[in-house]
Homo-oligomer: A and B are copies of this chain.
Amino acid sequence: MPKKIRIKDIARLAGVSAGTVDRVLHNRGNVSTKARQAVEAVLEKVDYKPNIHVSALSLKRTYKIVITTPVVSPGEYWESIHHGFRYAKEAYSNLKLTIEVLTYNQYDIFSCREMFRQIAEMEMDALIIGPTFHNETYTLCEKMDERNIPYIFVDSNNDGTHPLAFFSSDHYMCGTLMAKLITSLIPVDSKIGILHAVRVGNQSANSTILRKRGFMDYISKQEAAYQVLRIPFSVEEPKNNESYLSRFFSVHHDIPGVVVMNSRGNYVANYLHSNQIHDVKMVCLDLTTPNVEALKKGRIDFLIGQEPEYQGFRAMKTMLEHLIFNKPVKRENYVQLDILTRENIGFYKRFNNIML
Chain A residues packing against B (C-beta within 8 Å) = 4, 49, 51, 53-54, 57, 93-94, 169-170, 173, 176-177, 180, 184-185, 314, 330, 333-341, 343-344, 346-348, 353-355
Contact = CB atoms under 8 A, between A and B. Distances in A.
15 contacts: A4-B93, A51-B53, A51-B93, A54-B57, A169-B347, A173-B344, A173-B347, A177-B344, A184-B184, A330-B353, A333-B353, A336-B338, A337-B347, A338-B344, A339-B340
A170 B343 CA distance: 10
Identical copies of this chain, number: 2
A330 B352 CA distance: 11
Contacts of A343: 173, 176-177, 180, 337
Contacts of A185: 184
A53 B50 CA distance: 13
Contact of A336 (B51, B333, B344): B344
A344 B353 contact: no
A53 to B, nearest CB: 4
Contacts of A57: 51, 54
Contact of A170 (B4, B340, B347): B347
B51 A341 contact: no
A335 B4 CA distance: 32
Nearest to A175: B343
Contacts of A94: 4, 51, 54
Contacts of A347: 169-170, 173, 334-337
A169 B93 CA distance: 32
A185 B176 CA distance: 17
A61 B335 CA distance: 39
Contacts of A340: 339
Contact of A337 (B176, B314, B330, B344): B344
In this complex, the member of A93, A314, A334, A344 whose beta carbon has the largest number of chain B beta carbons within 10 angstroms is: A344
Nearest to A307: B347
A238 B59 CA distance: 59
Given A54-B54, A185-B184, A355 B353 contact: no
A307 to B, nearest CB: 9
Contacts of A355: 354-355
Contact of A341 (B169, B334, B336, B339): B339
A287 to B, nearest CB: 12
Contacts of A339: 338-341, 344
A264 to B, nearest CB: 22
Contacts of A336: 338, 344, 347-348
Contacts of A354: 355
A268 to B, nearest CB: 20
A355 B185 CA distance: 36
Chain B CB within 10 A, most for which of A169, A314, A347: A347
A176 B347 CA distance: 14
A91 to B, nearest CB: 10
